[in-house]
Amino acid sequence: MSGKGPVLALPSYDTLASTEHGPTLQWVLAVCQHQQERIALLEETVAQ
């Protein structure tokens, strides 16, 4: 990978998903958003 742009870090599970019933919706959505950003970044890199 090229070194341009910030590395996108996954949202912390502990801070967003601290319920006894498993991950919160916010955490799941944050992970989905993170994955979409990574995919967009990859497509951008491939397109060049």
pLDDT score of 19 = 62
State the DSSP string of 10-41: PPPHHHH---TTS--HHHHHHHHHHHHHHHHH
* C-alpha torsion sign, points 4, 5, 6, 7: negative
The model's pTM is 0.48
Quote the CA–CA distance of 7 and 38 in Å, as a whole number: 9
CA distances from 21 to 2, 18, 24, 33, 37 (A): 39, 9, 8, 22, 27
pLDDT digits (tens, 9 = 90+) for 2-45: 555 555 555 555 555 556 667 778 888 888 898 999 999 999 99
